Chain A
Amino acid sequence: MANGGIRQASPVNGVRSPSLKAALGKYWAIFRTQLVNSLAYPIDLLGRSLLIVLFMWIFMNLWRVTYGASGAHSIAGLTLADTMWYLMMAEAVMLSKRDLSEEMTEQVKDGSVAYLLNKPFNFILYHFAAGLGHSVLAFGGNLVIGAAVVWLMVGPPPGIAGWLFAGAAVILAWLLDFCFSALIGLSAFVVEETAAFRWIYQKFLLLLGGVLIPLDFFPAWLQTFSLNLPFAWVIYGPARLFVEPSLARLGQVLLQQGIWLALIGGTVWILYRRAAARLAINGG
């Protein structure tokens, strides 16, 4: 280790554990700050939401032609309207989630992680609270604009239960996605350049998560394979729940999300504690 180096023994060394209320208050403040920050640039927010119009337009052309050519009213239990509302929800989740892995990678690479690690909050929870503040507004914008476009194209959306059930599942989906982002971001402690992992994760979401095509249209073996992976529960779960809001499906989605959250979240927690304990910060 170079002169002036600091080796952090533990991410929580010497700091008295705050009460749960105080801890939540800190992250609530971070969430609120990010929310207000995003609200300060409404044009930017609106502009980013316009991307969903482009995707919905392309999907409408693709699936209108496909349904027309097949001559069927519904494919794998989904009508054209169901498919479009499914894709709208899938794109809204996809476009509003904040990819924190890039930011975390940069912080590890340029050393600014040192300034966050010695603050009185948890590095991982800090990023989650900030990311959530961004995602909530972006999701709202995408949902309003995306829903307006799809309504014009195929008629009214599913009932209120669809919105409520999907809303609950979307929050857990963001949490699950955040765990993946953190996993990729934390890998920067080992490999420094994480872009390739990020691209591949994004593509897994697009394909096995069901952003480009509902998993119901997959061959049976691939559908089973996809449903046994966590990516489906970031996108497909909430989007499918939106167009078919039953209590049984809600239970299945939340259960799957809970299991994957425990597995991937637990891995992130262990890796973070190890990485922070091994972190060597040079210079002053």
Chain B
Amino acid sequence: MGRHIAFVLALWKTNLLSAMEYRVSFLTQMAGMMLNNAIYFVFWIIFFARFEEVNGWDLVDMLFLFGVVATGFGVGTYLFGNAVRLSLLIASGQMDYYLSLPRPVLLHALASRSNASSAGDCAYGLLSFGAAVYFAGAFDILMLLRFGLGCLAAVTVLISFLVLVQSLTFWIGNTNLLTSNAFNAIVTFSLYPITLFDGTAKLLLFTLIPAAFIGALPAEFVRRFDLAQLAQICAGSAIFLFLATFVFYRGLRRYESGSAFQVRT
């Protein structure tokens, strides 16, 4: 276990050093993504300026929601950057490289790439959480711990969901469209108050498109402690992590090598 952790840390360090070679591009993309998220949030400022609340959710709830989602999304896609292009690696035979090395294939493949713009998501999420705490007027160290746990759950469920969907490539070949639609769906749903949706829709958001585990549920948990929510978050993360790992390695047995020369620099 310790060896695997040291290996992943070394990968992340290499990715960071690689990004720092193009410092201006890294910072431009980071700042661009922060601005991008901020402009999107203005929609909710305008909305709540006019309608005050929607089914019990107000602007401060949305700040908590954006804090958890953006941080979780940013950390997840920065540290495991290949999670958004796993289907491409599988379909184009690029898993050969990871299979030929004595390291956990999935972990190695996911952590081999970092997205510069994701650092902007992460920074924006932290700012949003800071603003939420300021406007809520309540902060203690336990809230910070809950925020850390909520973000960890968001990262786990998001990356697991992306792996799960793209692992279907092993069986059905091209899943570009499915991946793109699934990605859009989970990001879009996670950024809306869950109280907008009724019973059946809510069930979907906890199962087929688990956006509730990435957004609303951890955001509510960060705001106030609830044992039932903590249990849901832990159970949801564990189940999706197990499913993703299980389905990926099942599919890997069907993987066909691309037999192509690959050069990695």
Contacts and interface: CB of A to CB of B under 8 A. Distances in A.
Nearest to B191: A58
Interface in A193-225: 193, 195-197, 199-200, 202-204, 206-207, 212-213, 217-219, 222
Contacts of A196: 28-29, 31-33, 35-36
A61 B196 contact: yes
A70 B51 contact: yes
Contacts of B201: 61
Interface stretch (B38-46, B63-71, B105-113, B228-236): B38-46
Contact of A200 (B39, B53, B177, B197): B39
A40 to B, nearest CB: 15
Contacts of A203: 35-36, 39-40
Contact of B43 (A61, A70, A200, A207): A207
Residues of A contacting B: mostly: helix
Interface string B1-40: 0000000000000000000000001001101110110011
Contacts of A213: 43, 46-47
Nearest to B36: A199
Interface residues of B, number: 33
Given A47-B177, A50-B181, A61 B188 contact: no
A207 B39 contact: yes
A69 B51 contact: yes
Residues of B contacting A: mostly: helix
B39 to A, nearest CB: 4
A199 B124 CA distance: 15
A176 to B, nearest CB: 19
A247 B91 CA distance: 53
A55 B196 contact: no
B142 interface: no
Given A193-B25, A193-B28, A66 B51 contact: yes
B54 A69 contact: yes
Given A62-B192, A62-B196, A200-B36, 5 more contacts: A47-B181, A61-B201, A65-B54, A200-B39, A213-B46
